[in-house]
Structure 1
């Protein structure tokens, strides 16, 4: 019986699917009651989404350091690396305390983003990176605000605070490149995704593999949130 119970709890602490296309989901349903406050499905999904976003934005930042044709795009890449490494540390710390299983790979859709940018060359990379990241970060802001205003868990609240500051910083440096195509960004921010839910959900980790860690740069100006860490 103990094994069956553990399996049930474990399945609750990793989402079957993420995104607006959840079927029969109950985001306000409490799935655990740690000392830091009740943990809902929405709280769990948020921690997973922070981790998943870092798993694709971080390598894009590394890509920008090598492929950018302008200083502004390179600076944006530096911010992506630094910010996502800091958020990764926070999300892993929070997940460890809350018993949440985190992915080691981004979602299939996010993997497609990385592959597309990896194929870009020259100024096309600069424009595509700035526009795509500005759109996805803009989409994430309402989720951060919703979790921040509704969660009853102090660790999730601290992670949302940190995510809000870092995502806003990324939006600002992407806009400073002067390359964001707002005619593409604004519709993407307001149109629900049409992909199957499994394309939006990162695969669960492989138990035999070590956890992926996003290493902060040597000159990092950020540190994990003291409340989370």
Structure 2
């Protein structure tokens, strides 16, 4: 059965933990541009260990990344002009389906609200890839995805090194493996401009918070499930339910 997502304003009682509203709503800035005044602040004490702002932001960011990188993988399977690009697309679909399943599993346990849409910046990346054709698509996919995965790699390491929450630690372990695999696949296309990538990773654009924050879902909004389309082998990797990415898997709440 699909896992229901805890909605904003819900207080979980008698289960894994008891939370206040402040612990459920994700902040105004996420990911590599997190500007929280105190990311180490404990926002909930759970039976899996304390949950900090940084822990919560990480879970939300992993989910948000999948909401645009998964469909980017689907585009690569359809539009990639080389076997290496199509293989990279397969890895994107499988890896983010697995991470999505993990996020949807732990979010209710930790009282974290998950987004159903990527950030405006991420949607812009996806729009670019959607409009691309031919070799331009191949090149943009390899370089955009190489930058985004490289940028989050150090964040994963920091979360893994500092979190005291066992569920977040497990997600960080999984994300580390998936992101490293995706970095490798992008490089195997032979299309990555490493000088450009290094510059973009070390001097990222300074964007307003509303561009790097996924929209908060409305109460009762169905949870989007990322699941590999028919015919894409998962090689035994646990993923989501066999549902179209735009389909509703279950009502939130």
Q: Same fold (TM over 0.5)?
A: yes
Distance change >3 Å, CA 5–CA 160, structure 1 → 2:
closer
Counterparts of 1:121 and 1:16, CA distance in 2: 34
Matched, 1:172 2:184: yes
Cα shift at 1:16:
2.5
For structure 1, the residue ranges without an aligned partner over 5 or more in a row are 225-229
Task: Look up the match of 2:133.
Answer: 121
Instruction: Select which of 221, 232, 238 maps to 1:223.
Output: 238
SS at match of 1:39: strand
For structure 2, the residue ranges without an aligned partner over 5 or more in a row are 1-8, 12-18, 240-253
Instruction: Select which of 21, 27, 51 maps to 1:10.
Output: 21
Cα shift at 1:11:
3.5
Counterparts of 1:127 and 1:22, CA distance in 2: 29
Instruction: Select which of 152, 164, 168 maps to 1:152.
Output: 164
Task: Look up the match of 2:242.
Answer: none
Aligned length: 220
SS at match of 2:43: strand
Distance change >3 Å, CA 23–CA 50, structure 1 → 2:
closer
Counterparts of 1:22 and 1:144, CA distance in 2: 13
Relative contact order: is structure 1 or structure 2 higher (C-alpha 8 Å, sep ≥ 6)? Answer: 1
Distance change >3 Å, CA 111–CA 169, structure 1 → 2:
same
SS at match of 2:46: coil
Distance change >3 Å, CA 24–CA 67, structure 1 → 2:
closer
C-alpha RMSD over aligned residues: 1.7
Task: Look up the match of 1:38.
Answer: 50
Aligned residues of 1:34 and 1:98 also touching (Cα < 8 A): yes
SS at match of 1:33: strand
Deviations 1:144-173 (A, max 9, x none): 000000000000000000000011001111
- Correspondence 1:1-229 to 2 at 5 A: 9-13=20-24, 14-19=26-31, 21-23=33-35, 25-218=37-230, 219-221=233-235, 222-223=237-238
- Determine which structure has the larger helix proportion and give its number: 1
Counterparts of 2:10 and 2:149, CA distance in 1: 37
Counterparts of 1:26 and 1:191, CA distance in 2: 23
Counterparts of 1:19 and 1:138, CA distance in 2: 12
